[in-house]
Amino acid sequence: MTPNILAKNLTVSLTVKAEGLSKRFGELIAVDEISFSVAQGECLAILGPNGAGKTTTCEMLEGLIAPDSGTIEILGLRLDSHRQELLEKIGVQLQETALYKKYTVRETVELFASFYQQPVTIDVLLAKLDLSEKQHARLEHLSGGQKQRAYLACSLINNPQVLFLDEPTTGLDPQARRYIWDLLCTLKGEGRSLVLTTHNMEEAQALADRIAIMDRGKILALDTYEKLLERYCGAKVLSFELSDPAHLTSLRAQLAWLAPARLQGERCEVEVEQASDFLQQLIRAADHLQIKIASLALRQSTLEDVFLQITGRKLQA
């Protein structure tokens, strides 16, 4: 295969391509020169704290606001020149949905169906989202999870190949959240591309093939969960508390690998590669120096550790 053919095939399988996207609101740079792509059947999670620029990014991808600079291609078409055509093909779930709460689930979905030339069969869609029994309930009478499923039904009414979901499970209890996760996995399994934003690291880990870590308008890292952990942290975090935190200095003088350790309140945390070796060294050094360790734990690194490593701040306050 010649390189040209290979490049062409790669382009075809990309469903979303954003290059150098920026958006300002007055003085504030909400999104700052971000670039990424999403392949067919892939889920990209944009993970970041409140104010990172996630919703602004989504709204640009959805054609709701225009970027100040940069380009967006969806399904091989430029969004700026093919907006109407693309709106028929993409699904959008907004972070805050101002749907009329007195409408029933069915009426709401019917309203959305009327916007499209080729909507899917409503009964089939409602059954897929486990909403058949609730179809005549008003939105205002639904639980958080049911409401979210109703919004998802609206975003799926045109059988979209690409789906944008802005914080699809924020505010839901763990059970309702898992239910939505399962639905999203099914949608991905059907070959759709998903771009979802979240400030929840478990959500990113559970759903995403790749994760873009976003903060203050910039994408600071973008890779698979495993690669992000590998690049930015050790596999494990050794976490301990000393009876007197001032003693950390003496321990550091003995154990070079404690140098990058950071304090989380009273807890001291450090990423480690050879966990059991370091654990033993720490206990021995503390014993030797007569320093009391109040608590000690070894845990798996998480995306929270990656975020902390990159930004120096916590993702989840």
Ligand X SMILES: Nc1ncnc2c1ncn2[C@@H]1O[C@H](COP(=O)(O)OP(=O)(O)O)[C@@H](O)[C@H]1O
Q: Which residues contact 192 (CB under 8 A, 6 or more apart)?
A: 41, 160, 161, 162, 163
Partner in contact with 30, chosen from ligand X, Mg ion, none, beta carbon below 5 to 8 Å by kind:
ligand X
Residue of 6, 7, 10, 28 that binds ligand X (CB under 6 A): 28
Per rule CB under 5 A, count of chain residues that contact Mg ion? 3
- Residue placing its CB nearer to ligand X in the complex, 73 or 167: 167
Residue 56 interacting with ligand X (CB under 6 A): yes
> For the chain, how far is it from start to end, CA to CA, in angstroms?
50
Partner in contact with 221, chosen from ligand X, Mg ion, none, beta carbon below 5 to 8 Å by kind:
none
Partner in contact with 253, chosen from ligand X, Mg ion, none, beta carbon below 5 to 8 Å by kind:
none
Residue 25 interacting with ligand X (CB under 6 A): yes
Residue 52 interacting with ligand X (CB under 6 A): yes
Residue 55 interacting with ligand X (CB under 6 A): yes
Structure tokens of 196?
A: 């979802």
Question: Is the separation of the CB atoms in 2 and 8 below 8 Å?
Answer: no
> What is the distance between the alpha carbons of residues 314 and 307, in angstroms, rounded to a whole number?
7
Residue of 17, 54, 134, 177 that binds ligand X (CB under 6 A): 54
Partner in contact with 56, chosen from Mg ion, ligand X, none, beta carbon below 5 to 8 Å by kind:
ligand X
> What is the distance between the alpha carbons of residues 200 and 170, in angstroms, rounded to a whole number?
8
Give just the sign of the alpha carbon dihedral 80, 81, 84, 89. Answer: negative
Of 41-49, 50-58, 230-238, 286-294: span binding Mg ion (CB under 5 A):
50-58
- Residue placing its CB nearer to ligand X in the complex, 153 or 213: 213
**Minimum gap (Å) between residue 166 Cβ and ligand X:** 7
> What is the distance between the alpha carbons of residues 38 and 59, in angstroms, rounded to a whole number?
16
Residue of 51, 70, 119, 144 that binds ligand X (CB under 6 A): 51
Residue 147, helix vs strand vs coil: helix
**Minimum gap (Å) between residue 58 Cβ and Mg ion:** 8
**H or E stretch at 224:** none
Question: Is 14 buried (19+), middle (13-18) or exposed (0-12) by CB count in 10 A?
Answer: middle
- Residue placing its CB nearer to ligand X in the complex, 83 or 218: 218
Q: Which residues contact 162 (CB under 8 A, 6 or more apart)?
A: 15, 16, 38, 74, 75, 89, 90, 91, 192, 193, 194, 195
Residue 56 interacting with Mg ion (CB under 5 A): no
* Residue whose Cβ sits closest to Mg ion: 55
Closest CA to 307 of 49, 6, 3, 35: 49
Residue 30 interacting with ligand X (CB under 6 A): yes
Q: Give the number of C-alpha atoms closer than 13 A to the C-alpha of residue 147, restricted to the C-beta side.
A: 22
Partner in contact with 115, chosen from ligand X, Mg ion, none, beta carbon below 5 to 8 Å by kind:
none
- Ramachandran assignment for 216, one of left (phi > 0), alpha (psi -120 to 50 degrees), beta (any other): left
Partner in contact with 165, chosen from Mg ion, ligand X, none, beta carbon below 5 to 8 Å by kind:
none
Mark 31-50 with x for binding to ligand X (rule: CB under 6 A) and - for no binding: -----------------x-x
Residue of 55, 148, 193, 309 that binds Mg ion (CB under 5 A): 55
Of 51-59, 83-91, 172-180, 202-210: span binding ligand X (CB under 6 A):
51-59
Could you give phi then psi for residue 77, rounded to 5 degrees? Answer: -115, 140
Applying CB under 6 A, the residues found at the interface with ligand X are: 25, 28, 30, 48, 50-56
